[in-house]
Structure 1
Amino acid sequence: MLMKILVINPGSTSTKLAVYEDDVLVWRESLYHSAEEVAGFRHINEQYDYRRQHVHEALEKAGIPLRFDAVIARGGLLKPIPGGVYLVDERVKQDLWNASMEHASNLAAWIADEIAQQAGCPAYIADPVVTDELREEARISGVPELPRISIFHALNSRAVSRRYAARIGKKYEEMNLIVVHLGGGISVSAHQYGRVVDVNNALNGEGPFSPERAGTVPARQLVDLCFSGKYTHRELCRMLNGRGGLVAHLGTTDVPTIIRGIHAGEIHYKRVLDAMLYTVAKQIGAMHVALHCATDAIILTGGIAYNEYCTDALRGWVESLAPVEIIPGEDEMGALAMNALGALNGELTVQRYCPKQDEEIPEK
């Protein structure tokens, strides 16, 4: 009997929905929320009823009854946890409601749980961006007050790893892989036998620079800039995330446009894009060391992986380390459905949310 799975993935101005029967997509819808509508809410949490109602209306309009075997939602900004599939419970919901960073994904589990209760099925999340499986050496920086933090494209990175392993007749847990997610942010993760033992923080200024993020920058020069009086705290944060990287140099985040400029003879475009790809290659080298120089494959994924200029350049730098596989794009909906199906058929263990902080402070 086919398993029917509802997938919910809210973004800043949209809510993506999909229904799968086993691993086959049978319905998909993107609900767009205008900037004017979203601007009317002071906080993300205030959007809960608004988005929940839109989801119900879309399902009703499509004639889809609330009869599912599972509902799975994009994981929000929880406290650090190992990767995998998690049951949505009250602790998950409360930590998302009170999350230190606001994002529409924090509402996903709330909407999923409400529908799951009506459908009489479990609600899950899987591989949230805060997935943290770093080995201890990777966590410690040169400043005790500044430990390294794991925030990366966990969902897509693990999904393409499982897909690649299955294609060559192996299990993800048997392999050493480097996954390079090339998008608005860039993460390079070292997967050692099913655990991401090292990765750059793709959100908050670490690793390669990307279309809109600055990546690692010279620390002393950044400190001097912070105290120069030229910029506010908010402006500096935007310089690192949102207005850094390619857009800071070239005024655009669109890699195909930049590549067209290169072919038209724009030397500055080539210099900056090649520099970004060079920082990615260096990070791949670092992750190769994190895997004891025993990497089985390097996977290039994300939207930028559609561009041969970029993938060819990266091959030139790193293909001597391990075979390079290209799995472009980012199928978050399919990845979530795959996790739910794995949980339902017993291939993936369903975990209970227990943040790392809870392990360090035992309950009385």
Structure 2
Amino acid sequence: MSVFVRPGRHRVAVFVRHGVLPMEAGIVHRLFGRARGADGQPLYEVVTCALEAGVVTTDTDLTLNVRHGPEALDDADTVVLPAAEEDYAERPHDPIRPELAAALARVGARARVASVCSAAFVLAAVGLLDGCRVTTHWMSAGSFRAMYPHVELDPDVLYTDNGRVLTSAGVASGTDLCLHMVRTDHGASVANEVARNTVVPPHRDGGQAQYVRLPVPDPERSATARARAWAQEHLHLQPRLADLAERESMSVRTFTRRFREETGLSPGRWIALRRLDLARELLEGTDLPVERVADRAGFGTAVSLRQHMHAELGVSPRAYRRTFRGPGTAPAHP
């Protein structure tokens, strides 16, 4: 279980500023607000706060009537900071506003802090991103590097997780980040149900790079979609790169290049993540022994599965199952 889940309902504070992007604030409320436990009760309490309670302008003709001031940050378990218009101004020498820094100083040392899009600039300005690998909107990458050269920026990924501090890329990647936090806190089944109810994918392949270099891909015209679909259905066969390339009638070199262009990942990395997804699903939803889970997910052996889960999640398969296995799960067919 995530270290950020403590007894009682987890409190999420959405800290908005004038010029906030309404979609980003709404994403947080929608996704955390939809998460339910086995008893059907909400797993999170989500509140909105600002530097002052009252009307907060947005970057549209909408306004937000915010009930809470910065005191709501005092007892928040998770603080999410959406982007605002001011983040896009290129001001490499301007200090952060004192009142904004003072508000963020109220966040507890044990609270999780996350930024959506260019709100990473604010977290960097108050020192929360020091020593972290972070991301922000790819269009702001140059400005971010100029202002915070000591912070490791990865402009290609959809989000980063440094434990206590998380960042996400442009606008809609706030969805990916929130689902990741729900998945970390309560497991893939809860996060998948939230995604299903919201009609969004529970996991997006690749990173921002696919949006920077190419238009949004058309699945009907994708050069590697058939191979990916086949691999997804045959993970237990441990598909080889040569087999996937042959299915698309390409050389291995051409297939690898096109695959990375379309997904943002190498074929090997993509398959490893899909295997891990399947293993997590089997651990959560079946009674299969770890050895069978490893075989079905294409890891071959329980040792290999344990190594991959430790590397990606920091836990063993059995520890993951104890944490995220829902009550009343029906045994799987052998």
More strand by share: 1
Compute the TM-score of the two structures, normalised by the length of structure 2.
Answer: 0.29
